[in-house]
Amino acid sequence: MNLFVKTNDKTVFFLAFDGRGYLDNPKAIFEGLLADLRFCEYQFVWGMNEQTKIDGAKRVKKGSIQYFYYLSKAKYWVVNAKMPEYFVKKSDQIYLQTWHGTPLKRLAHDLPDNGLTYYRSKQSYREMTQSYDKDSKLWDYLISATPFSTEVFTSAFQLPREKIIETGYPRNDVLVTASESEIKQIKAKYQLPSDKKVILYAPTWRDNTYNLKGYTFELQVDFTKWREVLGQEYVILFKPHYLIASRFQVPTDLTDFVYELPANDEISDLYLISDVLITDYSSVFFDYAILNRPIYFYMSDFATYKNDLRGFYLSVPKDLPNDICQSEDDLLEAINSGVFDYQRLSEFNQKFNQLQDGMATKRVIKEVFG
């Protein structure tokens, strides 16, 4: 189709997590373009799995004829994850890869070549790195949130430095600019009790636990114990990573304490309405730190993850904004104590979030779209 469809300089195609939703950096960039009168004549197209209505954009179903037509037509691709290998980019198209997080875990070429297979597709190390190489060679721009990420991306993706733009992440602008009324509206949407503080629990997936449907991970949590210790003061927003297929089932008698959320919900909304974050190895803590709120790390399988799976770019826990907890009892005691080192968090932000000033979207638009 590419050979027969002429590129339109005023068409922009957006894709987030291979069509999973209206999310992340592509969403922030789209909304920035939509609000900019210089782009009032542009056509914006979203590739998505679901029939979600997006004001100001045309939605096409992923994999449909229209989907491939607009991929061929669009001058710009705005994408936040590796695209399938069957995509063909024309020489006059511009591919903006936004990526989807500041990396704690090792990526692509930086993963160990230890004879193991990667992901549920069981790719060898060579097959895995080649799949990244085929995509990254098409990138005209890659967004970096920090000089740290720039260094990592040049190594992990074997990418020339001149293709990386250090702008900060557009998706994080809202963490700086959101008003109190907007935060109240989000909280009302989730029907959370007004007299309780909110803990966002956002664990990630594991490379070595998967089946044919996706990644599986048995959470080492006892929410009954969490309620006994924390229930007077807090409720839990439980946001699983979208790659986890076998979702943890919250017991029916805990549904007034643990609010289980769809994996496709926009996580920045959840950051804004939560008072505390608990995670493990997810990059969410880099973003959440911008809010200057407490972060706790629950890593029950720390030794295995560090030594047998991916390993880290940071020195853990020294480079994190808090120490790690390897047992539920230690985690709950740390939260219940109310003690948190905000100076350590401030030093973390000075190193990793110095570009997150609410203007990242404008910098991306200026750099890529002119």
Q: Using CA atoms, how far apart are residues 75 and 70, in angstroms rounded to an integer?
A: 9
Q: Cα–Cα–Cα angle for 18, 20, 25, nearest 5°?
A: 75
Residues β-bridged to residue 157: none
Place of tokens 């960039």: 29
The structure tokens listed for 240 are 């699983």
At 244 the pLDDT is: 52
Write down the pLDDT at residue 204.
Answer: 82
User: Under CATH, which architecture does the 8-172+357-369 domain have?
Assistant: 3-Layer(aba) Sandwich (3.40)
- Predicted pLDDT of residue 212: 44
On the question of a common fold for 8-172+357-369 and 178-352, the answer reads: yes
Q: What is the pLDDT of residue 370?
A: 85
Give the residues of the chain that fall short of pLDDT 70: 1-3, 116, 118-121, 205-219, 241-249, 307-309
Return the domain boundaries, the chain: 8-172+357-369, 178-352
Question: Is residue 341 a contact partner of residue 317, using CB atoms and an 8 Å limit?
Answer: no
Peptide bond just before 240 cis, omega within 30 deg: no
- The matching CATH number, chosen from 3.40.50.300, 3.30.470.20, 3.40.50.12580, 3.40.50.150, for 178-352 is 3.40.50.12580
pLDDT value, residue 215: 44
- The pLDDT assigned to 134 comes to 95
pTM of the model: 0.92
Rounded to whole angstroms, the Cα distance separating 215 from 205 reads: 7
Cα-based torsion angle of the residue sequence 229, 200, 296, 346 in order, rounded to the nearest 10 degrees: -130
Encoding tokens for residue 323? 């120490």
Check residue 118 and give its pLDDT. 67
pLDDT confidence of residue 119: 61
Cα(195)–Cα(191) distance, integer angstroms: 12
